[in-house]
Amino acid sequence: MNSYPPELLVQLAPLMFVAGLDIPPPSNPTDAPPTPSTPSTPSSAQNPPGTPKPAQDQFAVLTLRLRDALLSQRKPAIWQPEKSKTFQVVLVDKEARFPPRKLLPADDTNYVNAHSPLSPLTHSSPLHPDGLIAPIWVRKHTALVPSVFVLFMRLYESPPIPTRSPLDAFDSERIREREEDERRRDAELSAEVAKRKRTTNERGIKLTVVLIASRKMLGIDDEWTDDPALDTRLTFIRRQSGLDSRAALFVLSPVSPAELNEFVKSLQQALYEPAVEYYTSHSKRVRRKRNRHTQTSTSFINPLSPVGTPSIMRPLRPEGWTVRYEFKMACFAEFRGEDEVALKHYQDAYSTLNNMFGSTAILPPRTKRWAEAKVLADCINIKISISRAAGGSARRRSSSGAGSRDSQCHFPFLLSHLTPSLYLSSPPTRHRVFAELLEQGTRVSLKLPSNMPVKTPSTAALAASQMQLQAMQRGAVGVGMGNLEVDALRLLGLNPAHALQHPGFYYYMGARATEKRRARFLAMLENAAQSNTSPGFVNEKKVDHLTIILELYTKSYELFRKYSTSANGQGRLTLRIADRIAQTYSESGKFDMAVRFFERIARTYRREKWRSMLQPLLSTWYSCAQKLGDMELSVKLLVEMLAYGSATGTDEDGRIEEDLLAVLRSTVPSASHEPLAVDLSESEPIFDTSVIFWKSTASVNERVAFQVSLSVPPDTSLSSLPFSSLAIYFSHRTEPVMIYQSTNASSAEGEGDVQCLDLGEVLADAESEEGEGEGEEGEKDEGLVANLRWGKGSTVVFTGTVASEVPTTLQVTRAVLTLTEAKWSIEIPIDFSNAREGIVRAPRWLTSTDPVTFVPIRRTDYSEVVVGYKPHQIEVSFSHQAPALLDEEYPIIIDVTNLDDRPLEVVLDVLLQPTEIDEASTHAFLLSQVPSSALTGSLQSTTSASTMSARRASSKASTSGLARARPSSKRST
């Protein structure tokens, strides 16, 4: 709103001139600042220790406090927090003069027919002959012509008479001289007041005099009594100066700051009614003038009438006079604090102004008066919106518990009233003005409504609401719409166009509209002829669109960060605004700033897999890196762009591949001895990868086949990129398996081809070191070779076997693909756990390359193999002769045979089940029928079962024992 005159936007308050409060000069010369001729000395030299500091003048202190108290009452602002009976105070000189009401002096014979210097009827006026209203008219009533004039003056006090002895005679001559001196000084003061009274009476301004006297004269201190001549002197001053009998003369003495604030408050309350009367008389005078012009026939011409000639000087038409007078009456009503009356006059002025814009004969387009009327329409529109919002806020404060419902009624009107304006300069300006208006309101008293949906009311609440609605239909007195009815309406939904949001949203809309404006201007600039000199086109050339866009986006970004929380889900739009800021920085040539924004935005977009947002971001980021000459960053971005494709979504034309090769061949890295590592941990992978083990479990030293597959998408080609090597890392060894580019291979695989390379057995670190000791260094240096070129949709499958001597979990952890060109060496990591967004590849095992045949893998744990010890091979057999009789020793032979190729240590536990006969028990004991060196055993006996244990370390062992079952007795042991 800085482009509009502030006089037409600020909220108006009665103007008070205050004179006589000039800053007093320092009373003590030592208090003045030092000069070259009088150098400063330490304070201790001026005031020796023990010497009290000179007392400060109490009247000077009172003057400074009065200035601060009066100036802090109200400041000019577009959005005032409170409506109270306060004045806008301006400190002036005692001899301040008012601007003349008319150009001719009052004694001139033509004074009655003369007009104001700002009237369109005055030839020297800036509005002559057909102007509407000038901001200087509002400034006249807010800074030059007050409604109340307050004059502070010092009441003369005679010096005290020296203390006399009671025996001395009464000195009447000295008392008479004192009274004459006071009367003379009072007459001079009255003459000065009367002179100022004449100037204020000419303009109908209320004059109030505040006399400053000491506390002694007023008798405030306990040791003093009131001066008996004070009332007589005040009456004399009032009569001699011609002051009114009401709120025209006050007496003030030095008081505390709290008492001084109370005096200022009471002074404003006493003078508020005369100020209202002053502006009421102005309104009556303006209304009489409006009625005279209203009686004149209208000159409104249909918009389809021929366009008038703008060069002909025409006087202001009756519609223009109506707009002028309605605006003046609205301002005077606002001075009086009558907001509803002011709103009505503003609306009438705006409606008439719309009719004037409808006729090109009244307001020819692209003229000075047309531009002035457009600015006036904008300002009136803003004033109406402020008045509506302030009225809604006042009603919300006066009603208890209805804040949320009332906001739904008034704030949408504030939004809809300003948005459809036809005469704001453009949609960018409209959104920006509305955002600034909301921002100023939220800083003071405006509360934004909550657009969160309400909870569904309960059954009892719905029943109560239905009863209340029926009472309203019957016409019950004092029954209104309750909270439930309003909430029920909100449950139906909310029109987004009627939902008031925070100012950042409208700054964003203004920035977007400015981008469209710039796009239209660039299109016109390309198609327009060089001789196009239309005013609109010439003015558009002077506009710095990118600066405006940056400013609006920056304000929107700051406000979104202020208002956004994780609950309302506006964090995504905040990132979008940051992206637009970076794009605008790029277009304006500030590439370093754009790169900073891109770095922060890309981290979130990568982590959350926003592919469609990353594609244009990486493209613009790469362009900025090129302009800055950062080759390392350019290479990293091009490698990442291989996975995302071009800004159109694919890389069918191979542009990214060509750009990468061009950069590698034409530049050199800053650190040539170290390879450039590209971090793609959170980015989209370049390859579709899979790692499959043929078995999910294996024994120690058992070989398990595996396949590692690297495929490129069908719309991506890496055939021309010079990959030199591929390193595949396994979990059971530190050194990777290296595959180098074959020198005899063709330039690239065909589209959709499948290539298979056997890696053999991948040994662990200890086994590979033993192989090196046996003279296999030459084979290791030579390594494995393959054609590391991928055409569109082609696949390279690496097969082999792995084994482990200890229990572990075997995995293929990662791979590193190295690209070498000229002096560049680039390491591209491959994470097998990372998959492209939206791509689900079923695991397949390659069984044949001619023809290409895959076998699907049905299990889920295909990407690793768990290695453990194989189970022990032991054979156990039992031999015994049935049947067994009661109280008979029954032999049982257990044969344990070790069929494994490893010596085993076996622990044998034998459990005899209890008999099925009641009151019977079983006993078992071990016989020594084998050599003691091969057998150890123990016998345990219980009443229900017996356990026999033996331990054997040889390949075969036999254990025999006896079991006896006896009937149980009551004396069992």
- Domain holding 653, by residue range, is 589-667
Point out the domain boundary residue: 233, 256, 275. Answer: 275
Per-residue model confidence (pLDDT) at position 644: 84
Per-residue model confidence (pLDDT) at position 16: 95
Residue 564 has pLDDT above 80, yes or no: no
Cis amide bond preceding 883, omega within 30:
yes
Q: Are strands 249-252 and 676-677 parallel, antiparallel or unpaired?
A: unpaired
The SS3 assignment for 415 reads helix
404 within a domain of the structure (yes/no): no
The SS3 assignment for 253 reads coil
Cis amide bond preceding 851, omega within 30:
yes
Point out the domain boundary residue: 868, 895, 929. Answer: 868
Tokens matching residue 965: 């079952």
Distance CA 208, CA 245 (A): 10
Rounded mean pLDDT, 42-71? 70
Q: Is 178 exposed, middle or buried (0-12, 13-18, 19+ CB in 10 A)?
A: middle
Per-residue model confidence (pLDDT) at position 27: 56
Q: Are strands 808-810 and 946-952 parallel, antiparallel or unpaired?
A: unpaired
Question: Does 611 lie in the same domain as 749?
Answer: no
Question: Does 685 lie in the same domain as 662?
Answer: no
DSSP state of 496: G
Question: Does 207 lie in the same domain as 250?
Answer: yes
Question: Does 833 lie in the same domain as 692?
Answer: yes
Question: Does 700 lie in the same domain as 636?
Answer: no
Distance CA 860, CA 864 (A): 10
- The answer to whether the CB of 14 falls within 8 A of the CB of 80 is no
Distance CA 672, CA 669 (A): 6
Output the domain CATH number for residue 625.
Answer: 1.25.40
572 within a domain of the structure (yes/no): no
Rounded mean pLDDT, 122-134? 89
The percent of residues above 90 in pLDDT, for the chain, comes to: 38
Question: Does 605 lie in the same domain as 637?
Answer: yes
Question: Does 689 lie in the same domain as 608?
Answer: no
Nearest 5 degrees, angle CA 178-CA 184-CA 186? Answer: 100
Cα distances from 188 to residues 60, 184, 235, 876, in angstroms, run 22, 6, 15, 138
Encode pLDDT of 499-525 as tens digits: 788 899 999 999 999 999 999 888 888
Following DSSP, what letter does each residue of 218-239 receive, concatenated? HT-STT----TTHHHHHHHHHH
Nearest 5 degrees, angle CA 532-CA 534-CA 538? Answer: 85
Longest dimension (CA), the chain: 161
pLDDT, the chain, mean: 79
Ramachandran angles phi, psi of 296, nearest 5°: -75, 145
- Residue whose C-alpha is closest to residue 347's, from 337, 339, 359: 339
The residues that bridge with 698 in the sheet, in sequence order, are: 867
Encode pLDDT of 219-271 as tens digits: 665 544 556 778 888 889 999 988 888 888 999 988 899 999 999 999 999 99
Question: Does 746 lie in the same domain as 653?
Answer: no
Highest mean pLDDT among 421-435, 463-477, 645-659, 701-715: 701-715
Question: Does 852 lie in the same domain as 714?
Answer: yes
Residue 38 has pLDDT above 60, yes or no: no
817 within a domain of the structure (yes/no): yes
Encode pLDDT of 858-867 as tens digits: 989 999 999 9
Residue 433 has pLDDT above 80, yes or no: yes
Point out the domain boundary residue: 831, 846, 868. Answer: 868
Distance CA 105, CA 111 (A): 7
Output the domain CATH number for residue 72.
Answer: 3.40.50
Ramachandran angles phi, psi of 725, nearest 5°: -160, 160
Question: Does 818 lie in the same domain as 787?
Answer: yes
Per-residue model confidence (pLDDT) at position 853: 92
Cβ contacts of residue 744 below 8 Å, gap of 6+? Answer: none
Per-residue model confidence (pLDDT) at position 449: 77
Distance CA 602, CA 584 (A): 16
787 within a domain of the structure (yes/no): yes
Segment holding 962, helix H or strand E: strand 956-967
Residue 973 has pLDDT above 80, yes or no: no
Following DSSP, what letter does each residue of 175-224 receive, concatenated? HHHHHHHHHHHHHHHHHHHHHHHHHHHHHT-EEEEEEE--HHHHT-STT-
Question: In this predicted structure, which of 38-47, 64-73, 148-157, 595-604 has the lowest mean pLDDT?
Answer: 38-47
215 within a domain of the structure (yes/no): yes
Rounded mean pLDDT, 791-797? 90
Helices 631-644/655-666 angle, 10° precision: 160
Distance CA 617, CA 512 (A): 18
Per-residue model confidence (pLDDT) at position 443: 85
Question: Does 691 lie in the same domain as 656?
Answer: no
* Identity of residue 944: S
484 within a domain of the structure (yes/no): no
- Overall domain count for the chain: 3
Higher-confidence residue: 876 or 485?
876
Distance CA 322, CA 910 (A): 119
Rounded mean pLDDT, 434-462? 76
Residue 414 has pLDDT above 50, yes or no: no
Encode pLDDT of 742-779 as tens digits: 887 665 556 678 999 999 999 887 666 565 555 444 34
Question: In this predicted structure, which of 91-100, 328-337, 522-531, 717-726 has the lowest mean pLDDT?
Answer: 522-531
Tokens matching residue 382: 């803003």
The percent of residues above 70 in pLDDT, for the chain, comes to: 73
Rounded mean pLDDT, 918-926? 66
231 within a domain of the structure (yes/no): yes
CA 484 from chain centre, in angstroms, equals 33
736 within a domain of the structure (yes/no): yes
Question: Does 806 lie in the same domain as 732?
Answer: yes
- The answer to whether the CB of 78 falls within 8 A of the CB of 440 is yes
